[in-house]
């Protein structure tokens, strides 16, 4: 058997389908054999009805003897394709009463099913197997591979997982993944089930090649595993040298998680006394708290009692055995994966394209930012897709003068008010509360709308979502598992801790009897027969208290986030939005701020040198002013918005006594001075004085007046 040449591969058509296409993803690998002067697609050969694999693997073509191939081509030449009406239809429907014959590409076009297992049966478009749906879904759901939204209705191109009823896939996505993963790694993307999942996918016509995964065959694919982790990964790193700084035998030595070793912390950042003290990262602590995850059963590749998919592929003798498919599709899988690795600023800029040039003026009272913003957003004349212009008004002034305001400053104040509002609970990572008055006034919806508007219109991100709240938004409450940190109610947390720490069955029943009324009210009473039942009870309580109890506020908040298409983007690119919704921005550095501001007008070399020295002095802790203070003074924001500043921040050098910040234009005017000391003193005085006045004005703002109605009695 000779090796195939690329030129011949393109010139010779497949002897069965008569197509020149070399598309391994659709038709299997195309081979050209000079010795016999023909080309053949692997799938066309494999699915032909009148040929069997009688030779060894190294004989003929994939084990099919050449004389058998010629006989099959001759047989097919007398059969007309039901689709294209041309001769050479080598594949027939397996249903005895059906007389349809077709070429393999024509069968794909008409959405026939080809089963790459057992006797390699094919089913025409009238008799193909279908999936029965067990429940109806009203909303679109994402394909769990490419994350694009699809209608959850089983069809030829849309398949449902047999083991996870809320997992849906594009057929093309599944086929690419199967080719790259192979029989040993192709499994359900949600629950990792192999046996049931592969059996159903083979039934529905997905080809699962008998080979190792393509990523296992890459050279140096796991080289990074040989490198130790030396970086601080805690939410707030206090090291001035940065997260990558590691000084042994000091408080800035990096300690790795003793469970996974793939996360680290500076000793000082996690209040560790010495490097001998054990430390667990957040993910490992969650797994430790939920023992059910540690005891998850593994799915074997073969089962000795039941006939599984792997039995069929590896052990059963079959007249046709699928051979390894080429690894070229790995690039296609990477392409589909990279499709969703988007930059957050790019996504928000795309959403911002729907904002119209027509401006909507918002009249905001700084003494009651939340109240006046709520009035403006609830107005029937407000359109979130219009450009926002902010005007500050003071009701206490006699003449009611209006002052132009910064949109970014207003949105920044609004996010701060929202974070401290009674709509959310928790110290740093917050979840939704249950407040009947806020629900009645539709405030959860307005809060979601405000967040969406802030992101798209160039304001800051909230940065205070708990991971549980984010997962509910991105993946759905049914796919989210709350943790103890999500419980802000002290009494409920104590009940969970008592149940979880019960050492024996008697003490567990004692705790349940003690809180019997509470468990009965929330519907979490269950029959306890073994000590391990406590883990399911804890799960039930957590799910009720954190998710089910706040279902109405969550749905309202979710509807608000749909404003300007933000929620859809969160669900499409969850890994990108996670960073800005759940984490505060990184601390500003001298370099970041220096690069952020561009020089306008005629530059003064000495003043610019003073400016850079001033930034460095702040970073070294030699000034009472902070980087955030400078940014607030110039733009009204304490951090760089995810969508970036518009217009871009700028500095100019002027003959003035003190610096001036123009928040509407994001411009900072620097004073031209004779000495650096004078420059620093003038900068410190003006910035700190301006911020002091702003804080005094904010302290006079109206507080929230909503009454807390989150008790279980109010719920019932």
Instruction: Look at residue 70 and tell me if it is in a domain.
Output: yes
Supply the pLDDT for residue 653. Answer: 93
Instruction: Look at residue 668 and tell me if it is in a domain.
Output: yes
Of the listed ranges 67-81, 394-408, 460-474, 518-532, the one predicted with least confidence: 394-408
Provide, rounded to the nearest whole percent, the portion of the chain with pLDDT above 90.
41
End position of a domain, from candidates 152, 187, 216? 216
DSSP states of 200-258 as a string? HHHHTT----SS--GGGGSTTTTGGGGSPP----SSS---TT-TT---TTSTT-EEE-T
End position of a domain, from candidates 123, 153, 183? 123
| Same domain, yes or no: 171 and 89 | no
| Same domain, yes or no: 595 and 684 | yes
| Same domain, yes or no: 622 and 667 | yes
Of the listed ranges 2-16, 135-149, 248-262, the one predicted with least confidence: 2-16
Instruction: Determine contact, residues 140/152, Cβ cutoff 8 Å.
Output: yes
Tell me what the mean pLDDT of segment 706-710 comes to. Answer: 52
End position of a domain, from candidates 184, 216, 248? 216
Instruction: Look at residue 631 and tell me if it is in a domain.
Output: yes
467-475 helix and 551-561 helix, angle to the nearest 10 degrees: 70
> Structurally, how many domains does the chain consist of?
3
Supply the pLDDT for residue 282. Answer: 74
Tell me what the mean pLDDT of segment 582-609 comes to. Answer: 90
Range of the domain at 166: 141-216
Other C-beta atoms lying within 10 Å of the C-beta of residue 526: 13
With b for 16 or more beta-carbon neighbours within 10 A and e for fewer, the 504-516 pattern comes to: eeeebeebbeebe
Instruction: Look at residue 107 and tell me if it is in a domain.
Output: yes
Instruction: Look at residue 641 and tell me if it is in a domain.
Output: yes
The CATH number that applies at residue 72 is: 3.30.40.10
Residue 611 zone, left/alpha/beta (φ > 0; ψ -120 to 50; rest): alpha
Three-state secondary-structure class, residue 661: strand
Residues facing 363 on adjacent strands:
391
Of the listed ranges 75-79, 292-296, 549-553, the one predicted with least confidence: 292-296
pLDDT in tens, 109-133: 999 999 998 888 999 999 999 987 6
DSSP state of 544: I
Which pair of structure tokens corresponds to residue 79?
A: 């059969």
| Same domain, yes or no: 158 and 81 | no
Instruction: Look at residue 339 and tell me if it is in a domain.
Output: no
| Same domain, yes or no: 116 and 149 | no
Calpha distance 27→258 (Å, rounded): 49
Supply the pLDDT for residue 339. Answer: 37
Calpha distance 267→264 (Å, rounded): 9
pLDDT in tens, 462-517: 999 999 999 999 999 988 999 999 999 999 999 999 999 999 999 999 999 999 99
Supply the pLDDT for residue 80. Answer: 92
| Same domain, yes or no: 160 and 99 | no
Tell me what the mean pLDDT of segment 414-424 comes to. Answer: 92
Instruction: Look at residue 112 and tell me if it is in a domain.
Output: yes
Supply the pLDDT for residue 333. Answer: 34
| Same domain, yes or no: 99 and 190 | no
| Same domain, yes or no: 74 and 148 | no
Instruction: Determine contact, residues 612/604, Cβ cutoff 8 Å.
Output: no
396 has pLDDT over 80: no
| Same domain, yes or no: 38 and 90 | yes
Instruction: Look at residue 65 and tell me if it is in a domain.
Output: yes
Calpha distance 546→524 (Å, rounded): 14
Helix and strand numbers, DSSP H then E, in the chain = 29, 21
| Same domain, yes or no: 604 and 685 | yes
Q: Residue 691: phi, psi to the nearest 5?
A: -70, -35
DSSP states of 548-586 as a string? ITTHHHHHHHHHHHTGGGHHHHHHHSHHHHHHHHHSPPP
| Same domain, yes or no: 83 and 149 | no
Which residues are known catalytic residues?
664
Of the listed ranges 54-58, 175-179, 555-559, 601-605, the one predicted with least confidence: 54-58
What does DSSP say about strands 141-142 and 149-150: parallel, antiparallel, or unpaired?
Answer: antiparallel
Tell me what the mean pLDDT of segment 139-160 comes to. Answer: 87
pTM of the predicted structure, to 2 decimals:
0.53
190 compared with 677, residue with greater pLDDT:
677
The CATH number that applies at residue 653 is: 3.30.2410.10
Residues facing 387 on adjacent strands:
359
Calpha distance 533→243 (Å, rounded): 42
Provide, rounded to the nearest whole percent, the portion of the chain with pLDDT above 70.
84
Radius of gyration, CA atoms only, the chain: 32
Smallest CA-to-CA distance from 91 within 35, 141, 34, 48 is with 48
Smallest CA-to-CA distance from 24 within 3, 46, 56, 2 is with 46
Other C-beta atoms lying within 10 Å of the C-beta of residue 570: 22
Residues 6 or more apart whose CB falls under 8 angstroms from that of 258 comprise 278, 279, 280
Q: Of all helices (H) and strands (E), which one includes residue 521?
A: helix 516-522
Tell me what the mean pLDDT of segment 222-240 comes to. Answer: 76
| Same domain, yes or no: 145 and 116 | no
Q: Report in angstroms the alpha-carbon separations of 53 from 14, 57, 323, 475.
A: 18, 9, 12, 46
79 has pLDDT over 50: yes
Calpha distance 522→547 (Å, rounded): 12
């Amino acid at each position: 058997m000779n090796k195939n040449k690329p030129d011949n591969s393109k010139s010779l058509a497949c002897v069965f389908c008569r197509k020149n296409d070399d598309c391994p993803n659709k038709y299997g690998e195309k081979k050209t054999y000079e010795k016999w002067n023909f080309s053949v697609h692997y799938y066309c050969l494999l699915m032909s009805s009148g040929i069997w694999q009688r030779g060894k693997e190294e004989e003929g073509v994939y084990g099919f003897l050449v004389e058998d191939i010629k006989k099959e081509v001759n047989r097919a030449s007398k059969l007309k394709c039901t689709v294209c009406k041309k001769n050479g239809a080598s594949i027939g429907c397996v249903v005895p009463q059906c007389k349809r014959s077709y070429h393999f590409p024509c069968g794909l076009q008409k959405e026939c099913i080809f089963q790459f297992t057992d006797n390699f049966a094919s089913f025409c478009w009238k008799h193909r197997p279908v999936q029965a749906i067990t429940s109806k879904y009203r909303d679109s759901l994402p394909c769990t591979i490419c994350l694009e939204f699809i209608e959850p209705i089983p069809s030829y191109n849309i398949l449902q997982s047999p083991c996870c009823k809320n997992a849906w896939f594009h057929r093309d996505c599944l086929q690419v993944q199967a080719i790259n993963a192979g029989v040993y790694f192709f499994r359900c993307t949600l629950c990792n089930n192999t046996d049931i999942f592969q059996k159903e996918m083979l039934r529905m016509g997905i080809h699962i090649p008998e080979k190792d995964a393509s990523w296992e065959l890459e050279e140096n694919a796991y080289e990074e595993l040989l490198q130790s982790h030396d970086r601080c990964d805690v939410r707030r790193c206090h090291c001035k040298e940065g997260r990558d700084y590691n000084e042994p035998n000091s408080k800035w030595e990096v300690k790795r998680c003793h469970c996974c070793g793939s996360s680290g912390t500076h000793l000082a950042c996690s209040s560790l006394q010495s490097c001998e003290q054990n430390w667990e990262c957040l993910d490992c602590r969650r797994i430790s708290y939920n023992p059910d995850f540690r005891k998850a059963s593994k799915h074997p590749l073969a089962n000795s009692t039941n006939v599984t998919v792997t039995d069929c592929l590896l052990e059963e003798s079959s007249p046709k055995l699928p051979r390894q498919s080429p690894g070229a599709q790995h690039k296609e899988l990477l392409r589909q994966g990279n499709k969703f690795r988007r930059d957050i600023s790019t996504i928000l800029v795309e959403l911002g394209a729907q904002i119209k040039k027509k401006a909507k003026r918002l009249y905001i009272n700084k003494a009651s930012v939340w109240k006046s913003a709520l009035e403006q957003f609830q107005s029937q004349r407000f359109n979130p897709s219009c450009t926002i212009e902010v005007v500050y008004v003071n009701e206490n002034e006699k003449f009611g003068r209006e002052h132009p305001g910064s949109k970014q400053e207003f949105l920044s104040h609004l996010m701060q008010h929202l974070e401290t509002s009674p709509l959310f609970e928790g110290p740093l990572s917050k979840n939704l509360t249950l407040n009947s008055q806020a629900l009645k006034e539709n405030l959860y919806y307005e809060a979601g709308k405000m967040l969406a508007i802030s992101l798209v219109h160039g304001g800051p991100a909230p940065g205070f979502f708990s991971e549980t709240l984010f997962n509910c938004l991105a993946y759905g409450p049914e796919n989210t598992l709350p943790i103890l940190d999500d419980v802000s109610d002290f009494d409920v947390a104590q009940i969970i801790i008592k149940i979880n720490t019960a050492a024996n069955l008697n003490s567990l029943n004692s705790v349940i009897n003690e809180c019997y009324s509470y468990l009965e009210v929330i519907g979490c009473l269950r029959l306890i027969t073994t000590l391990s039942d406590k883990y399911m009870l804890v799960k039930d309580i957590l799910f009720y208290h954190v998710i089910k109890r706040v279902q109405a506020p969550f749905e309202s908040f979710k509807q608000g986030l749909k404003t300007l298409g933000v929620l859809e983007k969160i669900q499409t690119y969850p890994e990108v939005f996670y960073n800005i919704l759940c984490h505060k921005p990184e601390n500003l550095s001298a370099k970041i701020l220096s690069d952020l501001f561009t020089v306008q007008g005629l530059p003064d070399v000495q003043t610019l040198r003073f400016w850079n020295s001033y930034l460095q002095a702040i970073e070294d802790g030699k000034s009472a002013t902070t980087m955030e203070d400078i940014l607030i003074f110039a733009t009204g924001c304490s951090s760089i918005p995810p969508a970036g500043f518009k217009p871009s921040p700028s500095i100019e050098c002027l003959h003035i006594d003190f610096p001036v910040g123009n928040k509407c234009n994001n411009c900072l005017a620097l004073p031209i001075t004779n000495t650096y000391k004078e420059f620093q003193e003038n900068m410190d005085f003006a910035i700190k004085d301006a911020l002091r006045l702003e804080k005094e004005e904010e302290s006079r703002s109206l507080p929230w007046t909503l009454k807390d109605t989150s008790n279980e009695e109010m719920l019932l």
